[in-house]
Structure 1
Amino acid sequence: MHGDTAQREKKLWTVGGFVVLVAITWWRPIYPAEQALHHSLTVIGLVALILVNRARPVPYTSFLLILIFLALHSVAARWIYSFVPYDDWTDSLFGFRVSDLFGWRRNNFDRLVHLSYGLCFGPVVCRALKPRLGKWAAFAAVDVVLSTSALYELFEWAIAMTLAPGAAEAYNGQQGDMWDAHKDMAIATLGAVLGVAVARSGRNDSRSLSMATNDGGGWS
């Protein structure tokens, strides 16, 4: 019972920190309409997480990973993805611009968010599916990330068909790249592969350590 209470408290503090971050991103919004549209998905994600956690408590690590992704999405939404001033941040803090360092010609914060989607959700889905699918849970997790990424890109396409061209470009953040949707899906899938691989490796290492300890050592 004490452990359950501690878990609930950690989750409450984590959600509180996330809400504060979202509130900060809304201070004097630059693109209020577009930011609100992006945050419609943030609200859906947060409500879904809370409801699922109430029905069946989500492990804290999974809970945290989901909120990390939503936090990155919230930061990106303030600058509608295409104008996140990370070059100004690194120039102010470290004296160099990331784009100059890597030779980038576009704002790549959207790529980071798509990568984080795979990195964060891949292990979460794999862990959730493991009891039912066993060794196939890793494959299914990557498939879920790829499928939902494709659905999101279709959603963006629907937005682009509905809104005026300028508003669609501002929301989608393609920055003139005709292959933007394909690259986003590929990066999210790569993130899922990496995230699941790291998570499985960590569990295997923990299992090996546990077996070695139970066997009376073996590390000397």
Structure 2
Amino acid sequence: MRAMEESRDIEKRSFTSNRLLQAMILAYAGIWIWMAVSPYSRFDWVLENLLIWAALIGLVSTYRLFSFSNLSYAFIGIFLVLHTVGAHYSYNENVVDVWMKLLFHTERDSYDRLVHFSFGLLMAYPIREAMSVWTNLSRRWLYVITCVIVLALGAFYELIEMWVALLVAPEIGTLFLGTQGDPWDTHHDMEMALYGSIIAMGLMALWRKMTIQNKKNKM
């Protein structure tokens, strides 16, 4: 019952009546087309976009069975935009990397780390939203399991990168993996995703506590 009650916070509407979702899709399509023009490496761009195409196919094909709230779709969209920009540059130096180098006084291109952190920060809410419907976990366990799932997905993505680099494009493996000579790169990527999810769940728990307290004060 608790999961069903919480799940009704999710707007249940048809796609044709969801104007906000349609606007988000059009905005992302425009960004994707823009980033598809003259990427740093066309072959690497295709490989990086496999994740995007798989995610979109999954979201579209399951929409009738389960639709997220518009807030979750917004978070998913922001993450896809970040990844789309990264794919355009093959996660090599871009404007954000230049800014981060100046800010943190480092020679490493850190945009990929930012995207991994954003995965945890932005995708934690949609994952928790789905888990609140699909499971009967308590709210506290939902916070914990969401972070665990983010960490597991981060690890699985690192495995996918390795498989793709070995089987599909071994000649550009270093470019696609983007380790930049760091033997702990994979571990740090998963670490950043985990930190992002912990922050997201912490903020969500704090927001819920403040909302409940405000309701009590009004009573």
TM-score class normalised by the smaller sequence: 0.7 to 0.9
**Counterpart selection for 1:159 from 152, 158, 164:** 164
Cα 1:101–1:192 shift into 2, 3 Å = same
- More divergent stretch after superposition (78-87 vs 105-114): 78-87
Q: Matches of 1:207 and 1:7 in 2, distance apart?
A: 31
User: Would you say the 8 A contact 1:52–1:58 is kept in 2?
Assistant: no
Partner residue in 2 for 1:94: none
Kindly provide the amino acid, as one letter, of the partner of residue 44 in structure 1: A
Partner residue in 2 for 1:147: 152
**Counterpart selection for 1:194 from 199, 207, 217:** 199
Partner residue in 2 for 1:124: 126
Q: Matches of 1:166 and 1:85 in 2, distance apart?
A: 27
Q: Matches of 1:10 and 1:204 in 2, distance apart?
A: 28
Partner residue in 2 for 1:86: 96
What aligned pairs does 1:50-89 form with structure 2 within 5 A after superposition? 50-87=60-97
Cα 1:82–1:206 shift into 2, 3 Å = same
Cα 1:122–1:52 shift into 2, 3 Å = same
**Counterpart selection for 2:111 from 106, 109, 112:** 109
Partner residue in 1 for 2:137: 133
Q: Matches of 1:212 and 1:57 in 2, distance apart?
A: 34
- More divergent stretch after superposition (67-76 vs 194-203): 194-203
- Structure 2, unmatched stretches of 5+, are 1-11
Kindly provide the amino acid, as one letter, of the partner of residue 9 in structure 1: R
Determine which structure has more spread, i.e. the larger CA radius of gyration.
Answer: 1
TM-score for both structures, normalised by structure 1 = 0.85
Q: For residues 125-176 of structure 1, give each alpha carbon's deviation from its aligned partner in whole angstroms, at most 9, with x where no partner exists.
A: 1232235211211111001000011111111122232356540011111111
Q: For residues 95-128 of structure 1, give each alpha carbon's deviation from its aligned partner in whole angstroms, at most 9, with x where no partner exists.
A: xx43123111110000000000000111221232
User: Would you say the 8 A contact 1:7–1:60 is kept in 2?
Assistant: no
Of structures 1 and 2, the one with the larger relative CO (CA 8 A, separation 6+) is 2
Q: Matches of 1:205 and 1:7 in 2, distance apart?
A: 32
Cα 1:207–1:23 shift into 2, 3 Å = same
Cα 1:32–1:164 shift into 2, 3 Å = closer
Cα 1:116–1:133 shift into 2, 3 Å = same
Q: Matches of 1:125 and 1:167 in 2, distance apart?
A: 32
**Counterpart selection for 2:213 from 208, 212, 218:** 208
Aligned length: 205
What aligned pairs does 1:34-53 form with structure 2 within 5 A after superposition? 34-53=44-63
Cα 1:44–1:101 shift into 2, 3 Å = same
TM-score for both structures, normalised by structure 2 = 0.86
1:81 partner SS: coil
